[in-house]
A and B are shown apart, each in its own frame.
Chain A
Amino acid sequence: MHVQGDFIHSLAMHLQEPIKVIAVFDNGVRPVKFRWNGRVYPVKEITYTWRTRHGHTSIVHFSVTDGTTLFELSYNPSTMVWRIEQVEA
């Protein structure tokens, strides 16, 4: 049987690429802009944040939008590396 349901998640691109981010560190961390694929994206809204544990490290995840696209960024405080985890059209 074929279902024409709108599967938002199936439109997501999983990337896990390191990226450069301009962030504010003030009572936590907050991304402001990031560069990906040669383009700079402003963070217009942080829609959700959550943490995951990877061994001793607590990685911070941000769902952010530039107004048109939803991105998932992650920040590893122990390596200070930002990654773009996912892009949802």
Chain B
Amino acid sequence: MTDQIREQVSALLDGELPRDEVGLLVRRMERDPELRRAFGSYSLIGETLRAPGGRTAHPSFAARVSAAIDAPGSTVTSPAPVAARHPLWKRPAVATALAASVALIAVVLVQPFTGPASAPAAVERWAKAGAASPTPAQSQRLAGYLVAHSQFSSPIGRRNVWSGLLAADPGLTRVSYETPEAP
């Protein structure tokens, strides 16, 4: 470790290090325990000169604080980000609520134009009609619906749809309706 870097550490303690040098030094100190030790020691020297007497922290105190923050059972998490830095709509909870609202509106608006209230009900009606098996075109349409539906439905819901579909057309080949894995 060069004296130049230790001199920067000394200047950082005094708040006299140019701002553009702070980031690099802080990152370097994060990796270098000797630099952190020097920072702690310089700080102790100042404290002792300013206010002699009284208790000083044990040499392992800072390490214990760090361990307490990192402890697995600790409730401590990273400090909450400054709220003002993110627009309201970008915050996770708000974004989720917005997405859910948009999905709900889409379902409500689209329903009158798509006819059947839900895929299982539609399949049930087909099965109950029993007069004739769905045509390949109908099965294909339903399978297409299913693929689209699977993005918003629960696994149980999807299984119900498939059961109904297969009951209506046992010969239907099971197509993949899972959302494809992201590359």
**A and B interact physically:** no
Interface set of A (CB-CB < 8 Å, partner B): none
